[in-house]
Structure 1
Amino acid sequence: MAAKKWLLVVAVAFLLLAYAAPVPALASSTPYESYNYNYWEEAVPAPAAYVPSRSITGSDLGIGDFLEPADMVVASSGLIYIVDSGNSRIVCLDDKWNVQSIITGFDNAGKSDSFKNPSGLYIDDENNLYVADTDNGRVVVLTKEGALLRLIEKPQSDILAGEFKFNPLKVTVDKAKRVYVVAKGVYEGIMQFDGNGSFIGYVGTNKVKRDYTEFLWRFLSTKAQKAQMVLFIPTEFSNIDIDAKGFVYATNIDPDSREPVKRLNPSGEDVLKRFGYFDVRGDILFRRVVGPSKLIDVKVQENGMYSVLDANQGKVFTYDDEGNLLYVYGGKGNQTGTFKIPVAIESSGENQLVLDRGKSNIVEFKPTKFGASVNEAIGLHYNGEDKLAVPIWQDVLRLNSNYDIAYIGIGKSLLMEKRNGEALEYFKLGMDRDGYSVAYKRYRREVMKEHFGTFLTVLLILAAAWAAFKLVSSRRQKRMLTMPGFAAQSLKGEKAP
């Protein structure tokens, strides 16, 4: 009997170990908490969407350590460019992480020229390089071989102050060759130049949030007191990117802004969709000692998605084109996959890359089954293939039953198929009030249309029965009045005057 008990204990222990074995491996591959927010803005645990696969330094590449790298961009050809600011160079790698070239200077009218603390870079469709050469006060345009095409230097315009200093930090270019520049100390908006490098104007000025209490004190203060008060100055943009349609995405570092991410049309108007449960601003809940998210970079992904990098908490937040938060990954720390001072985010195929200035390295992240499924389903929905997205969303729900966006995605597909009754349940599970209202109206109309004939028939039968009853009652009353005994009894019963 004792032997049987021991065998049972060993068997149970073996099963527990078998099921528990994968857990430490999963935890070790994600040195950060994975979560999302629900309708009530509560942080809900979620499977990791991306996990770190490797970390690359300059020493690993055989070119010496990076020194305060500031930016990174992946060209359409797959080449990876790193702006190594402290070493005043541009490092080019292929998708296998082999060094292709190092650009430290260029020929400028027969003279050797070089960069001075470059901070930003963009590669256009022709693989031309636009380098924000910050301390030299210019944007340098080079061919992919490193030959100088032109320089965009301090602009000349009546709208610029006489003491204006042109120190470009970030740069991007649209298909019309218009150049957009985020410059240091420029609060009027993003600077815009034409294809020849002539200054056009500003785009997308940040709105100022006024403190009306201080405004009142300013009104009552003397000139000396006013000079010591804080000015109502807009915050400057921190980074920019551009999508395939020519819309400029921009981030600012104002922690109090409810719109730290903008999508600017050619007129400079913000057209970013914000239909999610909460604002597109990074973390909703945060520790006071850490503070709110400080968004310093934005990367436009495929199918309307975009990722923003939070330097304050070292996290990456990815949204769909409607402003729904899809997933969060990253964090502050010393392990691979966590950051010290993250400065740039890029995509290389299905992988994502984050440049960390504090650790002078690049961290590569690969999508998990959960992350790849979410990306695929979002892509199908964005391209109008909601029916094909349903089985993908169902896979997502098997991995995370609390993923509201999956319920909403299935609900939208059912709504398109006019399966309104089923759509109601999914919209309810996804807490999508607008979708539920649309499905309810359609379902109510559908029920009324389906049962209208029966309802009308019953109504007509009831009306006919009522009419027949009234007719029979009327005839019976007349017949009783014509009876002799009834008439005599009625006269006898009348009171004398």
Structure 2
Amino acid sequence: GELIKEYGRPAEAIFGKTAVYQHRKVVVNDNKDVYIISESGNNGIILLNKDGEFLGYYGTNKVNLSLRLFIRRMFMSEKQRQQYAALKPNPSHNLAIDHKGIIYTITKSKNEEPLKKLNIEGNNILNGYYIISDSYQDIFIDNKGLIYVVCDDAEVPAAVSVLDRDGFLIFAFGKKQPGSLKIGQFESPSGIAVDSNGDIWVLDKTGNNVQVFTKTEFTNLVLTAIDYHNNSQYDKSAALFKEVIRQNAMFALAHSSLGKAYEREGDLEKALESYRIANDREGYSSVFWEIRDNWIADNLLITLGIIGVVWLALYFLNKFKHLIKGYSVIQTKIDKFKTTQVYHEMMLMRRVLRNPYDVVYEIKYRQSVRIRTALALYVVFIFYNIITSHFVLGYLFRSLSRDIILSYEIMKILLPLVLIGISNHLINSLQNGEGFYRDIFIGIIYACAPIFIFKLPLDLLSNVLTYNELFLIQLGYIIMYGWTGVNIILMIKEINNYKPGQLIINLLLTAFTMLMIIIIYLVLNVLTTQAWSFFEGLFKEVFLQ
């Protein structure tokens, strides 16, 4: 072909004297603006106008600082930090452009957004759910706005993903399988494109082949329904999505789209059900808000009347309770229970809210709480949190994961409490604190009284709230956990009889000790893993070869 124009290294000062200008991928929009990805281009995509003038950097990624790297840098000297790789944003690995001139990028990172659809300001506007990987290789956008990506990672469930224009996964297929000659498996998938017939072409650079995939009848049905929906042809879209669900009842995107159709028609109950099946929480929140608003308008007076009747019934029941047959027997049993140590230990939990100092006195000097009671409270606390978080908390505010790994859930709650107790006891021993580990062990679980008392009501309340009232739940949790934290600090202070200055030093050293224990665990974990790999390799070398 004939050379029309060359774009050399930008001469503008703002480009940077040390900036790398080694092209990796180039795309051009209808205005002849040129978008260039450069090798190690940490500053972002290089943007040139049609005359080759540098317009600036576009779509710069954020600096990724993991917890492990943060801790590692804390213990480096200034010289070591200079020798160590500087903290820079990950460069974009590949990019594509659609027929509207919108830029899409791939970044090799698990800790930030690996796929981006950039607006005019260079910010990501994808908000969907897709397979997260740091091994995406190529991206292609068809004329309907569908996003096709290919991933060179044997650990992910699929090598090829098809996303809608918002980034929600529609289909995923293929698998990286080194050495395999099967159709649909790749040694090292590296490129993807879609032709005018809708066939998907996938390049395998190690296998030295190109595999072509033709869309099935079901695939075309789904994509046609999505296209109708994107073009506001909602009736046609709904009819096709019903057929999709008939063929595959668990196709989430179809349920979500059908929910939108029901919502427009005013059939809120069906819309709510469809959103729930699709796990579309934004749509669910919007419809639930409407249903709740309608219910309040229709039933407010009746509800207030029922509350009034119940209140009056309880008032008269309490006033004339002595007339109830058998009341005196029940009251005698209740009074007898109130004299037991178990009742006294339970009531101390309530007293923590009013006066934690009294409870410290009961724990430290009167030893009113038994170790076995504290152990029972720890067990109850763990399962109370698991049950409320996974079964009582409102659907909109629960974890996205539907699986419960019991051992993980137990450790997530228990380890912080145990870590605080052990670390603080070690520091107390050095500072000559007055408290014993027994007092700290019991005091910590009693300091969690706000969680014991308020988490269940707060989680029950979340069932009638939507994302519009999210701040209420967040505020409630902040107060509840903040209150618990203050109680733990007061327990440590009073049990050890620290002055304010001593308390501050104790808390700082406790936090440092906790950090050291975590670091030691991480180091031992890495060393153990490496030792296991070494001996495993040695065993294979000696006995299997």
The answer to whether 1:150 aligns with 2:5 is yes
Deviation at 1:212, TM superposition (A): 5.3
Contact 1:303–1:383 under 8 Å retained in 2: no
From the two aligned structures, give the one with the greater strand fraction: 1
Cα offset for 1:303?
A: 3.4
Q: Who is 2:103 aligned against?
A: 248
TM-score of the aligned structures, taking structure 2 as reference length: 0.50
Counterpart AA for 1:440? F
Kept in 2, the 8 Å contact 1:248–1:264? The answer is yes
Deviation at 1:166, TM superposition (A): 2.4
Amino acid across the alignment from 2:147: Y
Match of 2:123? 269
Distance in 1 between residues matched to 2:164 and 2:37, nearest whole Å: 25
Please tell me whether Structure 1 or Structure 2 has the larger radius of gyration of its CA atoms: 1
Q: How many angstroms apart in 2 are the aligned matches of 1:343 and 1:380? A: 32
Preserved contact between residue 114 and residue 134 of structure 2 (Cα < 8 Å): no
Instruction: Answer whether contact 2:241 2:257 (CA < 8 A) is retained.
Output: yes
- Take 1:211 and 1:241, find their aligned partners in 2: how far apart are those partners? 28
Return the match for 1:388 from 227, 236, 248.
236
Hey, what does 2:170 align to over in structure 1?
326
Q: What is the alpha-carbon distance in structure 1 between the residues aligned to residue 215 and residue 13 of structure 2?
A: 50
CA distance in 2 between counterparts of 1:226 and 1:437 reads: 47
Tell me, in whole angstroms, the C-alpha distance in 2 between the residues paired with 1:210 and 1:390.
44
**Alpha-carbon separation, structure 2, partners of 1:441 and 1:221:** 52
SS at match of 1:318: strand
Q: Residues 199 and 426 of structure 1: is their aligned pair in 2 closer, same or farther, counting only changes over 3 Å?
A: same
Q: Using the TM superposition, give the Cα deviation of residue 259 of structure 1 relative to its aligned residue in structure 2, in angstroms.
A: 0.3
For this pair of structures, how many residues does the alignment match?
296
Q: Which amino acid aligns with 2:123?
A: E
Deviation by residue 1:73-119 (Cα, 9 ceiling, x = unmatched): xxxxxxxxxxxxxxxxxxxxxxxxxxxxxxxxxxxxxxxxxxxxxxx
- Counterparts of 1:335-414 in structure 2, within 5 Å, are 335-349=182-196, 350-414=198-262
Q: Which residue of 1 aligns with 2:150?
A: 309
Structure 2 residue runs of 5 or longer lacking an equivalent are 306-545
Change (3 A) 1:404 1:212: closer
**Aligned pair in 2 of structure 1 residues 413, 195: CA closer, same or farther (>3 Å)?**
same
- The 1:163/1:417 distance shift into structure 2, 3 A limit, reads closer
Kindly indicate whether the alpha-carbon contact (under 8 Å) linking 2:95 and 2:139 is maintained by their aligned counterparts in 1: yes
Q: What CA distance in whole angstroms lies between the structure 2 residues aligned with 1:369 and 1:149?
A: 44
Q: Deviations over 1:305-338 (max 9, x none)?
A: 2122112237111111233211101112322222
Once residues 125 and 219 of structure 2 are traced to their aligned partners in structure 1, the CA distance between those partners, rounded to angstroms, is 27
Identify the residue that residue 297 of structure 1 maps to in structure 2: 138
SS of the aligned residue for 2:6 comes to strand
Alignment CA distance shift 1:428-1:186 (3 Å): closer
Question: Post-superposition shift, 1:399?
Answer: 2.2
CA distance in 1, matches of 2:16, 2:235: 56
* Partner of residue 53, structure 1: none
* d(CA) in 1 for partners of 2:102, 2:68: 37
Q: Which of structures 1 and 2 has the larger relative contact order (alpha carbons within 8 angstroms, sep 6+)?
A: 1
Q: CA deviation at 1:229?
A: 2.5
Q: What does 1:49-128 correspond to in 2, within 5 Å?
A: none
- Unmatched runs of 5 consecutive residues or more in structure 1: 1-145, 284-291, 460-497
Matched residues in 2 for 1:200 and 1:268: separation?
13
| TM-superposed deviation, 1:384 | 1.3
Greater fraction of residues in helix: 2
Q: CA RMSD in A?
A: 2.7
Amino acid of the structure 2 residue aligned with 1:186: G
- Summarize the Cα distance change of 1:221–1:444 in structure 2 as closer, same or farther, 3 Å threshold: closer
Aligned to 1:260: 114
User: Is contact 2:20–2:41 with CA below 8 Å preserved after alignment?
Assistant: no
Q: 2:59 aligns with which of 204, 215, 224?
A: 204
Paired-residue identity, %: 27
TM-score normalised by L of structure 1: 0.55
The alpha-carbon distance between structure 1 residues 401 and 194, as it changes in their structure 2 partners (threshold 3 A), is same
Say whether the 8 Å CA contact 2:38–2:46 is kept in structure 1: yes
